Amino acid sequence: MIRTLPGSRGYMLGYRVYIALFYLFLFAPLAITCILAFNDSNFPSLPWKGFTLEWFTADTLERVGIFHDQNNLKSIWVSFQTAFFVSLLSLLVGTMGAFLFEQEQFRFKQGLYFLALTPLVIPGVILGISLLLAANSAGLFVEERLGIDLALLRPSFWLVVLGQFSFITTFVLLVVSARLRKFDPTLEEAALNLGASRLDVIRLIVIPFLKPALIGAGAVAFLMSFENFNTTLFLVGSDTTLPINLYLQVRDGSTPVINAISFLLIVGTSLLAVTNLLLSGQTTKA
C-alpha cells in the first residue's frame, strides 16, 4: 500500500486506473476547450470540421477572431490594469502587515491578526456586497454634505480594485509572513556588526531574502485578481473585467471565440505558473 509495502496486483492496478481517471477528469474540460478553439465550426462542439486559426485572426462579418474582438480585448486590458494595481497595492500592504505581525509587538496584536485573516474566509460575494453598500453609503453622505458626486464610490474600476485588494492582501500577508518567519535574525545582527545601518539591513539583507516570496505572492495576487469573479460581480461598473465579460457571453450562448480566449488564458497562466515554480525552485535550492 506504500512504496515499501506493495499491495496485490489487482489492488495496484485498480488504484492506478483510478488515478488515471482522476487526471482525465481533471484535464478533460481544459483539453476539449483548447481543441475546439481550432475547430472550423461556428459552434464550440464536435464534429471536427478541420483546423483553423480563424477564431484568433479572422476579421470578417461572419467571424471575428479574438485579436479583432474589441469588446473582449478591452475587457482583457481592463483586467490587466486591475490586476496590476491590485497586486501592487496588496504586495505593499501585505508586506507591511507581515513585518507588523512578525516583528512588532503591540497591544491587541492577536485580535488584529485574526481580523487580518478573516477576508480569506468571508465568501467573496459577501465582500462584494458589503463593499458596494459601504461605498454607496459613503457616496450618499459625500453627496449630501459636500454636494460632490464621487465616481470612485459607485461601481467602477477603482471600486473593483479595492474589493479585490481587500482579500488578496491577506493572501500576500500569509505568504510573506511565512518567509519572514524563516529569516535568521543573526543575519541582521551580522550586518549591523559589520557596520550596516538599519536601512542597509532592510535594503541589502531582508528584501533580497524576501524576494522569492514577493515574486511568488505578486504573481499569485495578479492571477487571483485577473480571474476574480465573485467580488467583482457586484462592484463592476462600465469597465467590465474579462471574467465578467466572459460570463455574460457564456450565459447567453457561446462561440468558439470564447474557446480561443480560454486557450490564451490557459497557455498564459500555465506559463506564468511554470516560471513561478521554476523561479521559486531555484531560490529554495540556492
Least separation in angstroms between CB 220 and other proteins: 9
Please report how close the Cβ of residue 80 comes to other proteins at its closest, in angstroms: 14
Grid cell digits, residue 59: 476579421
Q: Which residues of 160-198 are buried (b: 16+ CB within 10 A; e: fewer)?
A: bbbbbbbbbbbbbbbbbbebbeeeeeeebeebeeeebee
Please report which residue ranges of the chain form alpha helices under DSSP H.
9-36, 54-57, 70-103, 109-117, 124-146, 157-181, 185-193, 198-200, 207-227, 230-235, 242-251, 256-285
Question: Nine-digit cell at 177?
Answer: 509572513
Smallest separation (angstroms) from other proteins to the CB of 148: 19
Q: Which is nearer to other proteins, 59 or 144 (CB)?
A: 144
> Which of 59, 218 has the CB closer to other proteins?
218
The answer to whether residues 79 and 88 touch, using CB atoms and an 8 Å cutoff, is no
Residue number, 68 or 174, with CB nearest to other proteins: 174
> CB-wise, 59 or 141, nearer to other proteins?
141
Closest by Cα among 192, 241, 214, 234 to 74: 241
Query: Shortest distance, CB of residue 57 to other proteins, whole angstroms?
Result: 21
Residue 157: CB minimum distance to other proteins, A? 16
Query: Which residue lies nearer to other proteins by CB, 60 or 135?
Result: 135
Smallest distance, other proteins to C-beta of residue 97, A:
5
Q: Which is nearer to other proteins, 143 or 184 (CB)?
A: 184
* Amino acid code (one letter) for 278: L
Sign of CA dihedral 144, 148, 150, 154: positive
Q: Pick between residue 61 and residue 121 the one whose CB is nearest to other proteins.
A: 121
User: Minimum Å distance from CB 64 to other proteins?
Assistant: 19
Cα separation of 170 and 130, whole Å?
Answer: 18
Minimum CB separation of residue 247 from other proteins in Å reads 6
> Are the beta carbons of 257 and 65 closer than 8 angstroms?
yes
Q: How many CB atoms lie under 10 A from the CB of residue 234?
A: 20
In the DSSP assignment, the letter for residue 47 is: S
The residue (of 30 and 151) whose beta carbon lies closer to other proteins is 30
Instruction: Quote the DSSP letter at residue 6.
Output: -
